[in-house]
Amino acid sequence: MTPIQRQIKEIQAGLPAHVRLVAVSKFHPIEALEEAYATGQRIFGESKVQEMTAKYEALPKDIEWHFIGHLQTNKIKYMAPYVALIHGVDSWKLLSEINKQAHKAGRIIPCLLQIHIAQEETKFGFSMDECKQMLDEGLWKDLKNIQIAGVMGMATNTDDLATIQAEFKTLASFFHEMKNRHFKDIPTFKEISMGMSDDYPWAIQAGSTLVRIGSKIFGERHY
Ligand SMILES: *Cc1c(COP(=O)(O)O)cnc(C)c1O
């Protein structure tokens, strides 16, 4: 077993049954993904559309490609034919543009609404109020080629455990509030994407269903 394979096995072994691992392979070469694939890993996360598309073309077609980066509208068309889940949707404009490109590709693309839960100013995402407002307006129901599959968030990059735990709890409560308000009868609204290499145990504790883990599996990234 290679170090990558050992890490994947160890992380997978510790995940509860309802939590799926997104192996964040951004900036790592095809060979690293092949090693992970050989252990049975089938979900990979990428943050650049061009890089993800090149990997999609090179690797087996039973891989689920998750886009986890910040999305530019002019790039959506390149991944619309194959992307399995877009994690970081943080505006109405992006949602409607994804819908348009999904329609052209003849698909329904699952999307997560990114919510700003961290203290840092720089992180992307809807505020909870903005997101609530968008869902209350209800126009998203007319977007027939996207499926809102849940929420995504990133905790503050800090050693303060209490802060991290509070932020994950905030995101989980927001998910449940929106579930009750708008998605009660929609079983596909089910994902809480939270937790990275340094904080995923606490994300799981708070109810994560998708953990996005990169450096703990693949090592340092070389940009
Ligand atoms: C890079 C990235 C990750 C993975 O981060 P690690 O700390 O390497 O596990 C997770 N989520 C998002 C949105 C990322 O951009």
For residue 213, the CA-to-ligand 1 centroid distance in Å is 6
8-state DSSP, 210: E
Instruction: Read off φ and ψ for residue 85, nearest 5 degrees.
Output: -160, 130
pLDDT tens-digit series, residues 195-220 = 999 999 999 999 999 999 999 999 98
Catalogue the long-range contacts made by 31-40 (C-beta closer than 8 Å, 24 or more residues apart): 32/4, 32/218, 33/59, 34/59, 35/2, 35/4, 35/5, 36/4, 36/5, 36/8, 36/217, 36/218, 37/63, 38/5, 39/5, 39/8, 39/9, 39/12
Three-state DSSP at 153 gives coil
Pocket lining: 172 vs ligand 1, CB cutoff 6 Å: no
* Burial 201-213, CB ≥16 within 10 A → b, else e: ebbbebbbbbbbb
pLDDT at residue 194, rounded to an integer:
98
| pLDDT at site 122 | 66
Kindly report the protein residue whose alpha carbon is nearest to atom 11 of ligand 1: 212
196 lines ligand 1 (CB under 6 A): yes
Residue whose C-alpha is closest to residue 91's, from 77, 111, 106, 109 = 111
More confident residue, 222 or 21: 21
What does the pLDDT read at residue 123? 61
pLDDT of residue 223: 64
CA 147 to chain centre: 14
Mean pLDDT of 18-45: 98
